[in-house]
């Protein structure tokens, strides 16, 4: 089947080179039974590509199911995917089939596959290797014949390097990778999509179709669209509902486009170090701690009066009317400071270890250990709530699933 026929059949809008390349790959791999990994940002249409692959395959008449791995709690995801036996856990009053058993002979689409817990990843790897699985609470090995199409908006190899995703599972899933371009990478398609969504809305709600001026079209194409196609559809529908005229100019369109601001634009451009796997909040805390360390280093150079003679000495210059303090820092440079300009501070062993005890107890290595602080906070929250994880998660401001994962990661059980 050629690309244009696929676009017409599945409602794909656009003619960009990147989009056509992704579609060509999907069409070629569809008749095979090879596993496919669809990569792309949220809102680019990854599930639509999985349906194209299924409906153009030899499994088209067999079941198809889409599973959002990130939306299923960690405690129940094994049961959802692989099933469970009666009494396998609290609340398991009946025997249950999992998705891999129910979709036998068909296709299963695993969206957000990068969010799977490591234990579930091991079970999935076994299915991909030999089609075998074991229900939760059972010891009987079962067979299934399911084609897996996975999708992610994360860098799975990067997650593998940080120990959050199995590298062997990645290579099993990515037998054929397909990358769907984000909307900002295909600006020539944006107005075509706008017209499509506007036409659909006008037909459904019997409204006059909205048109854009040339300036408004240029603005539409230059906007970054962080929410991709999903965001464009929402904006189109908002315009169709709220605008009274049928022609929209640039100024009117601006009211519907949220202002995109880069977070930490100055700090992130100047800091050094490896921030792989760190959240934006963790990065921000690290930046603040680095800044605190730099300020304290400066204090130690300017005002530090070292008691150890090997690192520095304090002398009063008697040849001047005004006594001065002479300080030798770690690099051997001397500073002459007038009396009265120096405030007494506690002597330290080295400049780099200086830190105000009343603010951050301990040395700088301990302060910068975000992992140690995270473990400490989790322990305190669990102790406070007598081991009740839901309340502890609420106190920490994280989801219960995230807390379960952290407890397992840090072996706090």
Q: Concatenated DSSP letters for 249-289?
A: -HHHHHTTSPPP--SSTTTTTT--S--TT--HHHHHHHHHH
Q: Residue 271 falls within a domain, yes or no? A: no
**Is there a single domain that holds both residue 141 and residue 7?**
yes
**Is there a single domain that holds both residue 43 and residue 87?**
yes
Other beta carbons within 10 Å of 338: 11
**Is there a single domain that holds both residue 115 and residue 198?**
no
Q: Residue 191 falls within a domain, yes or no? A: yes
CA distances in angstroms from 380 to 285, 365, 383, 391, 395, listed in the order given: 20, 21, 5, 12, 10
- Residues comprising the chain, all counted: 413
CA distance 44 to 181: 7
Mean pLDDT across 168-175: 96
C-beta of residue 7 within 8 angstroms of C-beta of residue 19: no
Q: Residue 353 falls within a domain, yes or no? A: yes
Q: What is the end-to-end Cα distance of the chain in Å, rounded?
A: 54
**Residue 108 lies in domain:** 3-181
CA angle 331, 333, 338 (to 5 degrees): 135
Instruction: Name the residue with higher pLDDT: 76 or 267.
Output: 76
Per-residue pLDDT at 297? 64
Q: Residue 275 falls within a domain, yes or no? A: no
CA distance 156 to 168: 11
Q: Residue 269 falls within a domain, yes or no? A: no
Encoded tokens for 315: 């002398």
DSSP assignment, residue 182? P
Structural domains in the chain (count): 4
Mean of all residue pLDDT scores within the chain: 81
CA distances in angstroms from 163 to 94, 250, 274, 312, listed in the order given: 35, 47, 15, 45
**Is there a single domain that holds both residue 170 and residue 74?**
yes
* Range from 86-90, 326-330, 346-350 carrying the lowest mean pLDDT: 346-350
**Is there a single domain that holds both residue 205 and residue 88?**
no
**Is there a single domain that holds both residue 152 and residue 110?**
yes
Q: Residue 265 falls within a domain, yes or no? A: no
Confidence of residue 289 (pLDDT cuts 50, 70, 90): low
**Is there a single domain that holds both residue 170 and residue 217?**
no
Per-residue pLDDT at 5? 93
Instruction: Name the residue with higher pLDDT: 150 or 368.
Output: 150
* pTM exceeds 0.85: no
**Is there a single domain that holds both residue 177 and residue 189?**
no
Q: Residue 270 falls within a domain, yes or no? A: no
E strand or H helix that includes residue 177: strand 176-179
**Is there a single domain that holds both residue 221 and residue 197?**
yes
CATH code, 131: 3.40.50.300
**Is there a single domain that holds both residue 229 and residue 377?**
no
Q: Residue 21 falls within a domain, yes or no? A: yes
* Range from 51-55, 209-213, 335-339 carrying the lowest mean pLDDT: 335-339
**Is there a single domain that holds both residue 165 and residue 24?**
yes
């Amino acid at each position: 089947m050629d690309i244009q026929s696929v676009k017409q059949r599945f409602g794909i809008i656009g003619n960009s080179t990147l989009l056509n390349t992704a579609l060509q790959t999907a069409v070629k791999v569809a008749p095979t039974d090879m596993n496919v990994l669809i990569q792309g940002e949220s809102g680019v249409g990854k599930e639509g590509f999985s349906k194209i692959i299924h409906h153009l395959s030899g499994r088209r008449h067999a079941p198809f199911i889409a599973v959002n791995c990130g939306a299923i709690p960690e405690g129940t995801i094994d049961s959802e995917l692989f099933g469970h036996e009666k009494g396998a856990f609290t609340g398991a009053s009946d025997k249950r089939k999992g998705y891999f058993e129910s979709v036998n002979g068909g296709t299963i689409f695993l969206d957000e596959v990068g969010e799977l817990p490591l234990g579930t990843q091991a079970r999935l790897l076994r299915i991909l290797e030999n089609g075998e699985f074991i229900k939760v609470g059972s010891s009987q090995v079962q067979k299934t014949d399911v084609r897996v199409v996975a999708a992610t908006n994360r860098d799975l190899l990067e997650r593998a390097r940080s120990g959050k995703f199995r590298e062997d599972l990645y290579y099993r899933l990515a037998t054929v990778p397909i990358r769907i371009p984000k909307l900002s990478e295909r600006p020539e398609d944006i107005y075509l999509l706008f017209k499509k969504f506007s036409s659909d809305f006008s037909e459904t709600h019997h409204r006059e179709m909205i048109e854009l001026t040339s300036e408004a079209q240029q603005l539409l194409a230059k906007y970054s669209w962080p929410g991709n196609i999903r965001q464009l559809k929402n904006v189109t529908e908002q315009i169709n509902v709220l605008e009274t005229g049928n022609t929209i100019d640039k100024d009117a369109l601006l009211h519907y486009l949220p202002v995109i601001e880069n977070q930490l634009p100055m700090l992130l451009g100047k800091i050094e170090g490896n921030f792989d796997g760190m959240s934006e909040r963790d990065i921000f805390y690290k930046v603040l701690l680095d800044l605190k360390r730099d300020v304290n280093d400066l204090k130690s150079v300017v005002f530090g009066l070292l008691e150890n003679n090997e690192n520095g000495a304090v002398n009063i210059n008697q040849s001047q009317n005004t006594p001065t303090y002479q300080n030798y820092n770690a690099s051997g440079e001397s500073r002459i400071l007038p009396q009265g300009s120096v405030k007494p501070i506690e002597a330290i062993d080295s400049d780099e270890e200086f830190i105000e005890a009343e603010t951050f107890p301990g040395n700088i290595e301990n302060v910068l250990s975000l992992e140690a602080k995270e473990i400490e906070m989790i322990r305190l929250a669990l102790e406070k709530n007598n081991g009740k994880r839901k309340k502890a998660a609420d106190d920490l401001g994280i989801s219960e699933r995230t807390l379960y994962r952290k407890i397992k990661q840090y072996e706090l059980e």
